[in-house]
Structure formats: structure tokens, C-alpha cells
Amino acid sequence: MVRSLLVANWKMYKTVAESQAFVQEWLERRAKTDRAAEQVICPTLPALYVLAQALRGRDIRVGAQTLDLGREGANTGAVSGYLLREAGASYVIVGHSERRRLYGEDDAVVRDQAVAALECGLKPIICVGESRAERELGRTDAVILHQVQSVIQALNDLADTVFAYEPVWAIGTGLVPTAEEADRVAGVIQDALVRAYPNSGGTVRILYGGSVNRQTVREFAAAPRLDGALVGGASLDVEHWIALNQGWMEVRG
């Protein structure tokens, strides 16, 4: 059975000190109920190395929220996958709608980022999702397929990749699709993966993201084609994050 994966995307929240305090409290409190999915924390960049050190030897990974292409070079402000890997990251989010919208990371960039991540040993969490307008026009499946295919065409295989269905209209809004709808879209993604890679496509983990919290998590956990969640706001509070993990595991553990 595929192991569930719960990913905390802290976006541009938490100082280094706040990130350390979260992890310390989390480790103390979760020890009592240590029946967990695979868990990944994606902190701000300044906190990444410190958290990776704090979590060494634990069953918790650290991820980055994006990466720049290349290895090293005269690229002011850029952080390559190699640097992230060396700093302790195991995963990296690519194609998040906030990166697509705020930083112009289009399908071609997302594709190159996924390739670059795999080349340096990072597991890309590849985000796809339709906007509200696209949904209202009935274009959800077409948008998802286009985003998925544009990435997988460039890969040699799907081992170490994760996909996340994040409808743009559900991020940070408190709105969520029904679990049936999220499961259906996960099926659209899975079918595309299996068509391209008949042997491995069915084993790739597909997450749901967008307003997941301790209440909604159980519904998504009951969706058979979802293997985990990518969580923003509700991952920032230790108690909430622990409850969310427990909620998922009660349904899927």
C-alpha cells in the first residue's frame, strides 16, 4: 500500500525562531501518538537548513517551496536544487499557483524545475489546478491534463514524483471541492500518468491541496485516489497540524 504523505507549505510565514519553536513543540507532543503518515515541512528558505538539522534522524522530511534552475552561477538571488539538497531538503514544491501567478513560472518553467529537481535528488511535488474561471467554463479536466502532460513529457520515469491537485479557487479561501470531485480529478491525473507510464504511473502519490483543515481532512482521506494533502494555513499551528495528521490517519491508517 502507498504510504500517505502530508505536506505543510508554510509559504512566507514563520521566522527561523518560530519555525524552530514549532518543530520542538511538535516533536514533544507527537511522540505520544506516533502513528503518522510521511510528513514533510516546507518552511521559508532561511529556516530550511536549521529545520533539516533539527529533524535529522527523524521520520520527518524538509522540503523547499520552489527552486531555481542550474547548479551554480552568476544568478543573483537564485537558489538551485543542488543547494537545497545540500541544505537538507528532500522534496521541493513546483508549479504552485502562487509561483505561477506572482513569479510568472509557466508550464515550461515548471517542467524544467521538475527535471532539475530529480537530477539533483529532490522529489518534486508538482502542483496543478484550475482557476475559478476555468472551472466555470467546464475546462477543469483540460487544464489539469495540459499541466500534467507538459511536465511528464520531459521526464524519463515517474519514480520520486508526487502530484498535487490544488484548485486555485480553493487555496486560502475556505472553499473546497467535494471529496468526490477531488477524487475524480485525481483520477484524471492518474489516468494520464498510467497512459504515459503503464508500469509506474499507478503508484505515484496524488495529494489534494486547498483549504484542508482538521475538519475537512477526513473527507479527503476517505477519497480512494488521494494519497495525502498539501496544507497551507492549517499547518502553521502545531495543535491543528497534529489534529489534521490524526484525522487523516484515523481514516487511512
- Judged by CB under 6 A, the residue of 4, 9, 113, 216 near ligand 13P is 9
At 6, phi and psi to the nearest 5?
-115, 125
Strands (E), 175-233: 205-209, 228-231
**Interaction pattern, residues 137-166, with ligand 13P; x per rule: CB under 6 A:** -----------------------------x
Beta bridge partners of 163: 126, 206
**C-beta of 201 vs 209, nearer to ligand 13P:** 209
Chosen residue from 158, 189, 212, 244 binding ligand 13P by CB under 6 A? 212
Verify binding: residue 172, ligand 13P, rule CB under 6 A: yes
CB of 220 to ligand 13P, least distance (A): 12
Instruction: State which residue has the least CB distance to ligand 13P.
Output: 232
C-alpha cell at 197: 507510464
Kindly tell me which residue out of 81, 210, 228, 247 binds ligand 13P, with binding defined by CB under 6 A.
210
# chain residues binding ligand 13P, by CB under 6 A? 14
Angle value at C-alpha 3, between 231 and 221, nearest 5 degrees: 50
Full DSSP string of 128-180: E---HHHHHTT-HHHHHHHHHHHHHTT-S--TT-EEEE--GGGTTTS----HH
Contact between 120 and 69 (Cβ < 8 Å): no
Distance in Å, CB of 57 to ligand 13P, minimum: 27
**Interactions with ligand 13P, residue window 82-111 (CB under 6 A):** 96
Q: Is 70 in the site for ligand 13P (CB under 6 A)?
A: no
Could you list the active site residues? 96, 166
| Whole-angstrom distance, CA of residue 144 vs CA of residue 127 | 10
* DSSP string covering 108-133: HHHHHHHHHHHHTTPEEEEEE---HH
When asked if residue 171 is in the footprint of ligand 13P (CB under 6 A), the reply is yes
Binding site residues, ligand 13P, CB under 6 A: 9, 96, 166, 171-172, 209-212, 230-234
